[in-house]
A and B are shown apart, each in its own frame.
Chain A
Amino acid sequence: MTITGRSAFLINACLAGGLSASLPTQAMELTDNFEFSGFARIAAGFLDSEDKYLDGYTNDISATQQSLIAIQPTYHFTDSLSLTSQLIAHSSEDRDSGVEWLYMSYRPSSAWHIRAGRLRMPFFYYSDSVDVGYSYPWMTPPLQVYNNYLFSTFDGVSASYFYSGPGFGLYLEGYYGNYEGDLYLAGGKIDVDAKLTDMTGLVMMLQRNNVALRLSYHSGFNRTTIPQLEPLINTLRQYNFNDSADSLGSDGDVQTWQVSLSYDTPLSFYRAEWVHTRTPFDLASNFSGYYAMAGRNIQDWSVFLTLAGTEYKDVNPERELPPPSNPPATELDQLSAAYYSVFDRTPNGTINSISLGTRWDFRPQMALKAEIGYYEENSERSGYFDTPTSGSYLNGSDPEKESATLYQVGWEWIF
């Protein structure tokens, strides 16, 4: 989106905000078969830091990182068969606007639901509703879990089953599909052409007495091209450093595990989630993210405290190539320097955060939010503060532990 596009988006969004009092708060049924609903958010924030950015925010107040508007038309062919689409306009340049969803939905019984088409990835608890700010208390779900997910949609089929016995509730979902597009790692979009095939996943949620345990497992075959690394990989192969070449390649299985626990009472709510991803990239082979949140409801208000963290593991180069002499004298030195510098520039640090947020459901289908979060690296180069879109640090940048406070406010609307 260009600057003009952004301004237009903001103006439209502000107008929407101003007009909100007269806007409908329920889905509109245009005909008996056609239903139209949607969601919008205006989110603004800034980072109190001169030289860093986090989740797109810098120390200039910005309302163009997370603001969006989406419409969701649904056409019902019969009571059990329908076609749904979701079109999103993002204000952030990091997110693609357009058709987020397009799927056929079939409900053969009250418990079963089958969908086919372009669907959202149900990686984690809030993954498939990460754009719907109204669906969670935070301004942004914890970055360490939700901005480290690989992608947001896939093309395929999904079947789910939701049943309640006398003493428990059970939700099961299985899917199969493919994905081609951008990848998100360490809090930002990285400049690669990702292709995942044979993706399968299973989600299970068990519920009893308002305690819900969600377990999920996702896997797929990854064939991602990182254009900047291709020349280096080819040169390594020419010199027969195949293990080193393979370590920069990305062909192989990607697996993600997730476990979350949530508990609700009329006066309070608690969430905890841990996720772990293993990829064939030696540059980002194992990473985990987690958070724990406790909140209190006070009439239309809620306040909540969240602790979150992340961890990168096993970002290790192969040791085939001798370490380069300084300055590099031979061609081999240059190759070795290039190879090891890729690993030196890769995010492999960890970041923790603590945040305090509040949400006010001031009228049906609308909420105002405010949040303040302190982010601190426990080991340098977490990738969250200042990684460029190449996905790696610049040569010669200072490896220092960094910290900053992020302030955010927002308005959420669903209709």
Chain B
Amino acid sequence: MDILMKRITLRLILTSLLTLVCNSSALADSSDDIVVVANVSHEQATLTREQVRNLFMGASVGYQLYPVALPPQNRTRSLFNAKVIGMAESRIQSYWAQMKFTGRLTPPEEVRNEREMLAYLTHNKGSIGYLTADTELPEDLVVLFSTD
């Protein structure tokens, strides 16, 4: 009986530990997730990953949105590159060099950090940018896409 109790206790401890580990990794994941937010009306449809990617690479999604980016080497930008654009920073830079010096497209407006991003998005109608999922958003910004 003792042995059985010990086994049950051990299993409980292990299960609790496992849950804790899983939860903490889930917590870590949530700050690794990206939300794409825009200063648009609440009726605006959401966007797919493909649309967000192409929008930040210069395409139109059928209505006027002005993408705003964080600077290279910013952690949120690296997450956005990995999870949404799907390219390394150097390849993205090469792409924009090609677009710019062939006169086809210009890269998105760039702000210095997440705080400036929030301020820019809040003050510019039609602007769209990305932040980590744990960012507290003002009411007038709408989430159009999330990697969650």
Most chain A CB inside 10 Å of its own CB: which residue of B47, B98, B102: B102
Min Cβ gap A319→B in Å is 45
Closest B-chain residue to A267, C-beta based? Answer: B88
Whether the Cβ atoms of A129 and B97 lie closer than 8 Å is yes
A72 on the interface (CB 8 Å rule)? yes
**Cα-based distance from A113 to B87 in the complex (angstroms):** 25
Min Cβ gap B11→A in Å is 40
Write out the residue numbers on chain A whose beta carbons fall within 8 Å of the beta carbon of B81: 266
Whether the Cβ atoms of B94 and A210 lie closer than 8 Å is no
Min Cβ gap A207→B in Å is 7
Write out the residue numbers on chain B whose beta carbons fall within 8 Å of the beta carbon of A269: 87-88, 91
Whether the Cβ atoms of A115 and B103 lie closer than 8 Å is yes
A24 on the interface (CB 8 Å rule)? no
Given known contacts A169-B50, A364-B93, A135 and B101 CB-to-CB distance under 8 angstroms: yes
Q: Mark B86-109, 1 if CB is under 8 A from A, else 0.
A: 111111011101101111110000
Min Cβ gap A267→B in Å is 7
**Cα-based distance from A367 to B95 in the complex (angstroms):** 14
Min Cβ gap B1→A in Å is 55
Write out the residue numbers on chain B whose beta carbons fall within 8 Å of the beta carbon of A264: 86-88, 91
A157 on the interface (CB 8 Å rule)? no
User: Interface-forming stretch among B20-28, B52-60, B114-122?
Assistant: B52-60
A297 on the interface (CB 8 Å rule)? yes
Write out the residue numbers on chain A whose beta carbons fall within 8 Å of the beta carbon of B98: 126, 128-129, 132, 135-136
B30 on the interface (CB 8 Å rule)? no
Min Cβ gap B114→A in Å is 19
Write out the residue numbers on chain B whose beta carbons fall within 8 Å of the beta carbon of A129: 97-98, 101-102
Write out the residue numbers on chain A whose beta carbons fall within 8 Å of the beta carbon of B101: 37, 39, 70, 72, 86, 129, 131-132, 135, 414
B111 on the interface (CB 8 Å rule)? no
Beta-carbon contacts under 8 Å, B18-38 to A: none
Number of chain B residues close to chain A: CB under 8 A = 37
B61 on the interface (CB 8 Å rule)? yes
Q: Mark A195-213, 1 if CB is under 8 A from B, else 0.
A: 0000000000001111000
Min Cβ gap A82→B in Å is 9
Given known contacts A128-B102, A166-B50, A300 and B90 CB-to-CB distance under 8 angstroms: yes
Beta-carbon contacts under 8 Å, B50-93 to A: 50-51, 53-55, 57-65, 72-73, 81-82, 86-91, 93
Write out the residue numbers on chain A whose beta carbons fall within 8 Å of the beta carbon of B82: 266
B48 on the interface (CB 8 Å rule)? yes
Whether the Cβ atoms of A168 and B64 lie closer than 8 Å is no
**Cα-based distance from A109 to B64 in the complex (angstroms):** 8
Whether the Cβ atoms of B61 and A164 lie closer than 8 Å is yes
Min Cβ gap A127→B in Å is 9
Beta-carbon contacts under 8 Å, A159-174 to B: 160, 162-169, 171
Whether the Cβ atoms of A105 and B103 lie closer than 8 Å is yes
A-B contact pairs, 11 of them (CB 8 A): A72-B100, A131-B101, A134-B97, A135-B98, A160-B104, A162-B54, A162-B59, A169-B57, A361-B90, A414-B100, A414-B101
Residues of B within 8 A of A (CB): 47-48, 50-51, 53-55, 57-65, 72-73, 81-82, 86-91, 93-95, 97-98, 100-105
**Known A164-B54, A166-B50, A364-B73; 13 more pairs at CB < 8 Å:** A86-B103, A111-B60, A132-B98, A135-B98, A162-B54, A164-B61, A165-B50, A208-B50, A209-B50, A266-B82, A297-B88, A302-B90, A365-B93
